[in-house]
Amino acid sequence: MRLVLLAATVAAALHPRSLADSNDMPFVNNASASAAMDVGHNVLSTITKLRGGDHAFYTSLYTALQITYCDYLSNTDRHAPGDEPLATWPSNMHSDMAVPPYYRFVASSHPNALVDKNGDCLRLASPPAAVAAQYQRGYCEVIANCYWSPLQFADSPDRVPVYATNQAASPPSGAMTLPQATATLQKWAQSTAYFVAPPIILGVLCFLCCLLFLLCRCCCNRCGGRNAKPAGYSRMERGLPIGFFLLFAGAIAGVAIASLLYYNVITSEIGSLFTTTLTTISGLVSWVHAVAAPLVHLRDTVVTSADAISVKLNNSDFIANGLNGLVQQLEAFENQTYNVVLPHGCVVGSDLICIPCDVCTSINVQVSDAVNQMQSAAGAGITTLQSTRSSLLSMLVNSKDTIKSTVNNVVVGVVLLSDMAGNATLQVDSYSTTWQNQSLARQAGILVLFVFAIVVIAVGVLGICFGLTPLRCLAIILHIAYLLGFITLLLTFIISAIFIAVSILMGDVCQLTLLLAQDWTPILGQSSGRGFNACFRNQSLIDATDMQSSLAFANNITIPSLNLSSMLQFTSLSAFADTILATNTSTFQVDPALLPTFLSVLNDFTSQSYITSTQSAAVAASCTVNDGNFALQNPTTPWLLRGSAALTNPVQDVASMYLPYRNPCAGVLHPVCGHNTLCPYDSFLVEIVSNMSALIRVTADAKTFVDDMHVSMLALENATSTFSGQVTNLSSTLNEIGSDLQASLVRDVRAFETTMNCTFVAHDYNRFYVALCGTVTPALLMISLCLFLLGLFLIPINVTLIILTKRLRSPHVVTPTETKLK
């Protein structure tokens, strides 16, 4: 009897005296409508609480509905329960065919395959043997759906179903299963039936009573005035049913007025909904146009822009190597010149003639300083140029076709949405016009039962009036009143049951939409659901439409602003180059007196006159050397022996020439050889010639070395100059590319990004929700309860009409009490 108690509460709350005035209806204004809606909200909230409709209830109901619908989709192919484990969709099936959710494996080329951006299947790291066998056959896991949960790659031994219990893996702990979902829906249906059952039961009882009454009245001649009291009826016996009739007639008038009030609220709100819908669609059309314009321009120009950038970046490959080329040349120069000694290969301290290059001793330090200064001045800038060029190539030039394809897909969707919005505008406008032109039909459709009840009351009042006058024979029209009352009674309970069920269902739908608005993907799928989620979460649609990678160039490509004058100012390298280019053969410090001294000693110890004058007579007699005429006409050419013949190999020639004199001249006193060692006469002469030869080679090699060093440094300077010019040109080119991008592609992306916030969808959704769930649903529920109350009040109306049919047609009897009063 919950509904009866609620109906009584509503009847008391909606007493006609609480209603006021309005233009369309004198008793309706904002205050009365607001008070009436407060009652409607309270009644709806009370019914919801009595049904156990808390957050947990609707969460379970939402989950149960998803599971039930998923089970329905899974059974569209009428498979046996044993077919579900490891179900594999055949690769030869057409890709457009709908795949029932229970299928776990699909071909890698199928749209439902779980793949990465490269098209490779995403799989379990350590799958069971049966799953691994499907992997080996080339099948992929299906994307997450209502049956299969997302794949856990690392820490899960197998994929887990959402609710099914006939797979190898069980659903997560605490997850709702199909039997539990069925039980939840049954509980929900029972909670609804508690409030729908009373009017149905009363309607059935009234129908049975009507049949019984007609049977008794027509067949048994027992009811409806057939057996009136022969003595007639007193005023009390007539007045009491008339009083009850008038009382409940007033109550019916009250609920009729309340229904008119709620009807006016619904009518006004639905009219506002049409206006809101048209405004929303108009805003959607404007939004679509704002989105489409930059996308179309981006799609049509991205390829040509990327090709133009590719042409401008020709001959910019050098930047990929950065400063490495210059550094390598510097290091090669260092390896070529650092700590050079002449003659080549000699060892200072070991060889008597080994002259170091003075400028070469600090080359490693100067190279290190030059490299460090280059890295410090230009390293960051070069890295920035490398990154910018690489980003342009990877994100734009090499991705132009992908960008165009992705943007074109969105453009196609936007155009389709625009067409749909245009068609919807025409349809909604047509519906709105029809709604406005059918006000009388709406009133008749919703309030027809109240009209019937008023007709019953009017006929009853007319019959009562006839019964209280000498024309009481005309009170027979009360038969028409109660027969019409029976019909109205049956229709009222049936329609009130339908309206109550619809109202409760709408209330539940409103609660479920609150859960739905938190995540649209279970209902709309991943693609559309992500788009709606973005609108409701104040996020950009760029991520939802998977365009972030295609449009990344607009945010990730930054054209650097470089100070090239300081960046390419390689001061250390310039100073180093100046030092090297100013170097001459003097960097090898050769004593100019050494060679003449060596020549003089050689001529002395090979001269007979010098030996005779400096040695003993016996030594001079045995050492009969008669040379001493060696000369150096040009240090770069062999000196002349005795002024005529040139020595082709002075050291070997002298060694062979004076070897026969080793013993004859063994007594000649001469300086020690190198490192203070005693040596034979011929070895002493060979050492002198060897040192002279070394000095001559130093003179010749020094010039060659310095010339080569100058050539290498000039080449390094040219490379540096070329590199600086290339960097300058590349920087200028990038600035030009940046300006072009900002004026075209980036501008399109920025315009697109600005329009990709669709929170207006959520705002309009909230307005629809408030209108439908906060106004229309409670008002419809209250009309339903008013219909139920109408049925309740018609029961005593019909009873009193049946009673008055007999009593008003009988003669009036004056009782003793009435006589005394007179």
- Percentage of the chain exceeding pLDDT 90: 12
Helix 178-214 vs helix 30-50: angle between axes, to the nearest 10 degrees?
110
pLDDT in tens, 407-441: 888 888 777 777 776 776 777 677 667 666 666 65
Higher pLDDT, 565 or 810: 565
- Report the C-alpha gap between 207 and 199 in whole angstroms: 12
Most confident of 112-116, 402-406, 800-804: 112-116
Average pLDDT of span 247-259? 88
Is residue 624 within 8 Å of residue 608, measured between CB atoms?
yes
DSSP for 56-94, written as a single string? HHHHHHHHHHHHHHHHHHHGGG---GGG-TT-B--TTS-
* pLDDT value of position 722: 83
Q: What's the pLDDT tens digit per position in 524-556?
A: 777 778 878 888 888 877 877 777 777 777 777
Hey, what are 523's tokens? 């209902």
Position 591 in a domain: yes
Residue 26 pLDDT > 50: no
What is the pLDDT averaged over residues 666-688? Answer: 79
Work out the pLDDT band at 222, boundaries 50, 70, 90: low
DSSP state of 353: S
> Taking the CB of residue 463, how many other CB atoms lie within 10 A of it?
25
Q: Which residue has the higher pLDDT, 464 or 474?
A: 464
d(CA 555, CA 269): 46
pLDDT at residue number 179? 92
Number of domains in the chain: 1
The DSSP secondary-structure symbol of 159 reads P
Q: Is the pLDDT at 105 greater than 90, yes or no?
A: yes
For residue 305, pLDDT beyond 50: yes
Q: What percent of the chain has pLDDT over 70?
A: 85
Mean pLDDT of 30-51: 84
Give the other-Cβ count within 10 Å of 98's Cβ: 9
- What pLDDT band is residue 183 in, cutting at 50, 70 and 90? very high
**Lowest-pLDDT range, 12-26, 152-166, 315-329, 736-750?**
12-26
Is 670 in contact with 712 (CB distance < 8 Å)?
Answer: no
Q: What is the dihedral of CA 597, 600, 601, 607, to 10 degrees?
A: 180
CA dihedral 562, 565, 570, 571 (to 10 degrees): -140
Report the pLDDT value the prediction gives residue 23, as an integer from 0 to 100: 40
Query: Is 3's pLDDT higher than 50?
Result: no
3-class secondary structure, 757:
strand
Residue 634 lies in a domain: yes
Local confidence band at 221 (pLDDT 50, 70, 90 cut-offs): low
Helices (H), 477-562: 478-516, 521-536, 541-544, 553-556
Mean pLDDT on 35-50? 87
Whether the pLDDT of residue 223 is over 60: the answer is: no
Q: Find the domain containing 692 and state its range.
A: 585-704
- 């010639």: which residue's tokens? 689
Query: Between residues 300 and 703, which one has the greater pLDDT?
Result: 300
Please tell me the distance from the alpha carbon of residue 109 to that of residue 115, in angstroms, as a whole number. Answer: 9
Q: Are strands 341-342 and 645-646 parallel, antiparallel or unpaired?
A: unpaired
Determine the Cα–Cα distance for residues 789 and 688; give it in Å rounded to an integer. 140
Residue 778 included in any domain: no
In a domain, 650, yes or no: yes
Q: Identify how many contiguous H helices and E strands the chain contains and give both numbers.
A: 26, 6
pLDDT at 285 over 60: yes
Mean pLDDT of 366-378: 80
CB 310 within 8 Å of CB 467: no
d(CA 473, CA 599): 174
**What Cα–Cα distance (Å) separates residue 79 from each residue in 84, 98, 100?**
8, 15, 10
Q: How confident is the model at residue 461 (pLDDT cuts 50, 70, 90)?
A: confident
Instruction: Record the tokens describing residue 666, joined without a space.
Output: 């063994």
CB 242, CB 800: distance < 8 Å: yes
More confident residue, 49 or 655: 49
pLDDT of 626: 74
Closest CA to 143 of 178, 106, 109: 106
pLDDT recorded at residue 813: 53
On the question of pLDDT at 60 being above 90, the answer is yes
When the pLDDT of each residue in the chain is averaged and rounded to a whole number, the result is 79
Instruction: Give the per-residue pLDDT at 443.
Output: 62
* 719 part of a folded domain: no
pLDDT band at 10 (very low <50, low <70, confident <90, very high): very low
Residue 509 has a pLDDT of: 92
Instruction: Tell me the average pLDDT across 317-334.
Output: 79
Residues 6 or more apart whose CB falls under 8 angstroms from that of 321 comprise none
Residue 186 placed within a domain: no
More confident residue, 666 or 180: 180
Q: What is the pLDDT of residue 815?
A: 54
Query: Which has more pLDDT, 709 or 507?
Result: 507
742 falls within a domain: no
Q: Does residue 687 fall inside a structural domain?
A: yes
**Residue 735: per-residue pLDDT:** 85
Q: How distant, in Å, are the alpha carbons of 28, 270, 387, 586, 645 from that of 274?
A: 22, 6, 54, 101, 123
What integer is the mean pLDDT of 365-388? 80
For the segment 448-477, the average pLDDT, to the nearest whole number, is: 74
